[in-house]
Amino acid sequence: MRYAETSAVLAALLEGDGRARRALRQRTGALVTSALTFVEAKRALVRARQSGALQAAQERAALRALARFQARCTVVAVSDDVLAAAGRPFPVEPIRTLDAIHLASAAAVTDSPQFTTVISRDHRVCANAEALGYVVER
């Protein structure tokens, strides 16, 4: 299983990061992400458009790419269980709330972190994922 965290999705969408694109397009194993990913990504696209970093056509293309990505994913709901797990201490503190929700989402869908790859560009998520036993792809 591969868990895609928002920073990797945005690296692919907004920065054209080839490594992130390849990691997210890889066809081996289930691709999982949190429902939070789509809210965060859409907010980032709105901010980029409002700041002038993206033109309208680029924003539309990014939204289409995000929809294609979502169609390929198993999406983990931000449930009461996920929120409860996100509120507990993590191995590498401090960690931001939304990052904790991502890590709790990954944990909600696997009992075997050593067989799960977390795809992220965020150093806090990566440090905690490694400490929890996940394989990390930056």
Task: Provide the Cα torsion 44, 3, 122, 26; round to 10°.
Answer: -80
Whole-number mean pLDDT of the chain?
94
Confidence of residue 25 (pLDDT cuts 50, 70, 90): confident
Q: Does the reported pTM lie above 0.85?
A: yes
CATH number of 2-137: 3.40.50.1010
Q: What is the pLDDT of residues 65-123, one digit of tens each?
A: 999 999 999 999 999 999 999 999 999 999 999 999 999 999 999 999 999 999 999 99
Using the predicted structure, report yes or no on whether residue 17 has a pLDDT greater than 80.
Answer: no
The 135-137 sheet, strands edge to edge: 74-76, 31-34, 2-4, 117-119, 135-137
